[in-house]
């Protein structure tokens, strides 16, 4: 949905104020792909899993329990880093209900019982505020 003329003017004012207040942040926000940092962390996580696995196998080959534990911890850190950044790096969307939300009623009446998405509610509030 295109912005109204009033909304475009407000957006331009906000952009100018942002550039005036913090030009470095404004240039970072404008620059290309926002998923770049998450992709790097995902790659680092994969690398840590491989390195941790190698250290773990090395700890098993040499009878060294501390080396095996360090390898496991490095693998675990890499897996956690990868899992935490997977969604942002790939743009993957969670399945409905996977976020631990309340269960939705099933059947024909489920669509009626479902609330409007947050975006739609916020847009409606915004329109009501400027229509008054």
Query: Can you tell me the distance from the alpha carbon of 72 to that of 70, in angstroms, rounded to the nearest whole number?
Result: 5
Name which of 29, 33, 38, 32 is nearest 89 in CA terms: 38
Residue 18 lies in a domain: no
Domain that holds residue 72: 34-89
Q: Is residue 7 part of a domain?
A: no
* 76 vs 27: CA distance, rounded Å: 35
pLDDT tens across 28-48, in order?
766 656 677 778 888 899 999
| Structural domains in the chain (count) | 1
- Alpha-carbon radius of gyration of the chain: 24
pTM of the model: 0.48
* Cβ-contact 19, 26 below 8 angstroms: yes
Within a domain: residue 17? no
Tell whether 64 is covered by a domain.
yes
Instruction: Give 126 or 34, the one with higher predicted confidence.
Output: 126
């Amino acid at each position: 949905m295109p912005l109204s003329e009033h909304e475009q003017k407000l957006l331009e004012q906000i952009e100018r104020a942002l550039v005036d207040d913090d030009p470095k942040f404004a240039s970072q926000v404008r620059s290309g792909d926002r998923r770049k940092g998450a992709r790097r962390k995902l790659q680092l996580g994969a690398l840590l899993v491989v390195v941790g696995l190698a250290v773990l196998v090395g700890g098993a080959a040499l009878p060294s329990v501390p080396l095996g534990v360090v390898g496991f911890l490095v693998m675990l850190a890499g897996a956690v880093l990868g899992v935490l950044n997977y969604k942002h790096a790939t743009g993957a969307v969670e399945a409905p209900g996977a976020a631990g939300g309340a269960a939705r009623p099933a059947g024909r009446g489920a669509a009626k019982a479902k609330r409007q998405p947050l975006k739609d509610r916020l847009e409606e509030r915004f329109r009501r505020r400027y229509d008054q």
